[in-house]
Amino acid sequence: MGTIRPGNPRNRRNHSNRTDHSNRTEHSKHRYAGAATAVAAAALLVAAGCSSSTGPAPGKTGPVKNGGTLTFALDEDVTGFNPVLEGDNEFVLTEILDQTLPKVFVVQPNLKPALDTTVVTSATETSTNPQTVIYHINPKAAWSDGVPINADDFIYNWHAQSGDPAFKDVGGKLFLPQATNGYNQIKSITGSDGGKTATVVFSKPYGDWQALFSQNTPLLPAHIAQKVGFDSGFQNFSPKVEISGGPYIIQSYTKGEDLVEVRNPHYWGPPGNLSRIVFRFILADSQQPPAVQNGEVNMVNPVIASIPFLDTVKSIPGFTVSVQPSLEYQHIDFNESNPYLALAGVRHAIAYGTNRPGMISRIVAPLTTSIGPLNNRLIMPTESTFTDTSNGYGAFDPAKAKQLLRQAGMAMGSDGYFHPDFGPQKGQDFTLGISTTSGVEVRSEIEQLFQADMKAIGVKINIQNYAANTLFGTVGPKGEFDLIEFAWVISPFKSQQQSIYCSYTNAADCGNNWDHYADPKVDSLFAQALTTMNPAGAATLYNQVDAQLWADMSTLPLFQAPELYGWSSNFANVIPNTSNVGIPWNANEWGAK
């Protein structure tokens, strides 16, 4: 995220919110193919004031006061307020909506899903043939405008994310969801008990059913969306549209400045401890530590922490810092609509020419020494089902890179750059552009290191960066790039990454594939994995998917992100969550000591 945290990019996108934080969707983007558990929640570094120690992430620390305000610095603004709309699925939006839109399951810091019983009292798989899940909705659950949360909301959210052209948005337009995973395997949803029971029947099995109506695909209010429209009705803030089904509600939004949430006075569950949560948009990560020092913000979670960032926040008295390996990773994408990048040999050459260990030594090692080059896109090394699927394709081998460029029909020029003997750059320096989000110091460093690596193998790189909203709202989705660097914030639900890597020709299901990548073998493996109910069997298939992605060199994963979380020690119950829900996952429990 950019989280875009099936992944959300994060500046981050969420997904798979697309991430960087800017979009950490691949949001991310998101199992339960099921066995990604536990050790990712262990903190590699925890520091308070000027001291540091190793140990688990802080947990609940005792009673807190009623009231108060916490201000959280976000590294990008939002593009809209629909977390399941293509282009809006940024990690920052997921973080903002954690406490306003209801979710059936919420992934905990140990990366296991837990039922939110304030939303549904039970969610039970009652049959496997056909697969049937019955949701008993909390009788007290209601939207902040008084309309009950009921089966109609489940039905609408299924229709909008199903990819079925028979279901239409307002005006007869097609829905434009960021992904259709799982929703496109639902056959029917039936309401009963006055709408407080929703029975979901699947057309074919879906192993990650707990991801539905959960995580980064929360419930939208059907009675609002049916009036204003799924695709366009949530793009601008309106108190009558951005209603709440959670402990907090959005009070105000000022573009480029902040978004303020206050307690939802109509919430039926335990009220949040804090009176207000303020999300302050500070787009340059380098400006966040000074904002902590001057008391403007109480919490930070940069896209990637630089060494000066880490050193500064560690030196602030009464400020807690935790660095953890996360379900977020940095990567470089290849746009295969470029005639040169359409050649697998050229993509492999770029990968062999990229010094990932050197990049990690410069950028990651000062924060933690436990992270190496990432050799799996779908499953992180801190998840129990991780396997190195790279088959050597991620090795740093400049000689091999040059060999592949020659085999692709290029000859080294006297100026040290390869000259293609075909295509629009025939006889000229082989030149590619790379883009990422502006204002992120470490991202710029990644580009500069990559630029130097490519020069060493005879490829000229031009750098053109954009504001996160432009990169993830226009440049990426419209394919206006050669190479693009950002982060996906992913989820333990691995099926939710399908929309990033399935064939771009399947526009209904593969909206997060900006790269014009297509491989029927990957499509087939994903289809098998999505219908596999056994978690171990599904994990095997997802690892096979990633092995094929390496063989195709669809994208180049760089490294698992060392996630830095920092917050004022005056607040308790702040518990980092390395999945694609982000640190505000339990913001209702935050409180002043």
- With CA atoms as reference, report the closest residue to 135 among 149, 144, 147, 146: 149
Q: pLDDT for 199-233, tens place per residue?
A: 999 999 999 999 999 988 999 999 999 999 999 99
Averaged confidence pLDDT in the chain:
90
Q: pLDDT for 345-368, tens place per residue?
A: 999 999 999 999 999 999 999 999
Mean pLDDT for 224-250 is 97
Mean pLDDT for 266-282 is 97
Alpha-carbon separation of residue 505 from 13, 63, 178, 514, 531 (angstroms): 21, 54, 15, 11, 22
- With CA atoms as reference, report the closest residue to 16 among 336, 486, 374: 486
Q: Is the model's pLDDT at 25 over the cut of 80?
A: no
Q: Residue 561 CB: number of other CB atoms within 10 A?
A: 33
Q: Is the model's pLDDT at 1 over the cut of 80?
A: no
Peptide bond into 26 cis (omega under 30): yes
Alpha-carbon separation of residue 10 from 134, 144, 217, 351 (angstroms): 33, 29, 16, 22
Write down the pLDDT at residue 111.
92
Helix (H, G, I), strand (E, B) or coil at 322: strand
User: Distance between CA 252 and CA 239 in Å, rounded?
Assistant: 8
588 in Cβ contact with 273 (< 8 Å)? yes
pLDDT band, very low/low/confident/very high, at 255 (cuts 50, 70, 90): very high
Q: When comparing pLDDT for 55 and 512, which is higher?
A: 512
Q: Is the model's pLDDT at 12 over the cut of 60?
A: no
User: Distance between CA 119 and CA 388 in Å, rounded?
Assistant: 38
Write down the pLDDT at residue 411.
98
Write down the pLDDT at residue 466.
95
pLDDT band, very low/low/confident/very high, at 42 (cuts 50, 70, 90): very low
**Tokens read off for 50:** 């000027």
Q: Which CATH number fits domain 328-562: 3.10.105.10, 3.50.50.60, 3.30.2080.10, 3.40.50.720?
A: 3.10.105.10
235 in Cβ contact with 229 (< 8 Å)? no
Mean pLDDT for 341-345 is 98
Cβ within 8 Å of residue 555, ≥6 positions away: 331, 332, 333, 334, 377, 515, 517, 549
pLDDT band, very low/low/confident/very high, at 61 (cuts 50, 70, 90): low
Residue with the two structure tokens 């997921």: 94
DSSP H or E stretch at residue 359: helix 356-363
User: Distance between CA 68 and CA 71 in Å, rounded?
Assistant: 10
pLDDT band, very low/low/confident/very high, at 303 (cuts 50, 70, 90): confident
Q: Following CA atoms 379, 25, 526, 186 in sequence, which dihedral angle do they give, to the nearest 10 degrees?
A: 130
Write down the pLDDT at residue 26.
38
**Tokens read off for 493:** 């639900």
- With CA atoms as reference, report the closest residue to 101 among 231, 330, 264, 296: 264
Q: Is the model's pLDDT at 66 over the cut of 70?
A: yes
Helix (H, G, I), strand (E, B) or coil at 241: coil
Give the least confident one: 17-31, 89-103, 184-198, 509-523: 17-31
51 in Cβ contact with 126 (< 8 Å)? no
Q: Is the model's pLDDT at 58 over the cut of 60?
A: no
Any alpha helices (H) in 100-204, and if so which ranges?
Answer: 151-161
Cβ within 8 Å of residue 527, ≥6 positions away: none
Give the least confident one: 56-70, 155-169, 279-293, 565-579: 56-70
Percent of the chain residues topping a pLDDT of 70? 90
Q: When comparing pLDDT for 92 and 36, which is higher?
A: 92
Write down the pLDDT at residue 131.
98
Answer positive or negative: Cα dihedral of 546, 550, 551, 552.
positive
Write down the pLDDT at residue 439.
85
Q: Is the model's pLDDT at 17 over the cut of 80?
A: no
215 in Cβ contact with 208 (< 8 Å)? no
Q: Is the model's pLDDT at 96 over the cut of 70?
A: yes
Q: Is the model's pLDDT at 338 over the cut of 80?
A: yes
Widest distance between CA atoms in the chain: 77
Q: Is the model's pLDDT at 568 over the cut of 50?
A: yes
User: Distance between CA 426 and CA 409 in Å, rounded?
Assistant: 10
Mean pLDDT for 495-524 is 92
Write down the pLDDT at residue 320.
97
Angle between helices 356-363 and 441-457 in degrees, nearest 10: 150
Domain ranges in the chain are 105-228, 328-562
Instruction: Give me the count of residues in the chain.
Output: 593
Q: Is the model's pLDDT at 330 over the cut of 60?
A: yes
488 in Cβ contact with 328 (< 8 Å)? yes
Q: Which CATH number fits domain 105-228: 3.90.76.10, 2.60.120.380, 1.20.210.10, 3.30.70.120?
A: 3.90.76.10
Mean pLDDT for 297-319 is 94
Write down the pLDDT at residue 57.
38
User: Distance between CA 228 and CA 90 in Å, rounded?
Assistant: 21
Q: pLDDT for 386-431, tens place per residue?
A: 999 999 999 999 999 999 999 999 999 999 999 999 999 999 999 9
Q: When comparing pLDDT for 15 and 174, which is higher?
A: 174
Q: Is the model's pLDDT at 159 over the cut of 70?
A: yes
Mean pLDDT for 130-156 is 98
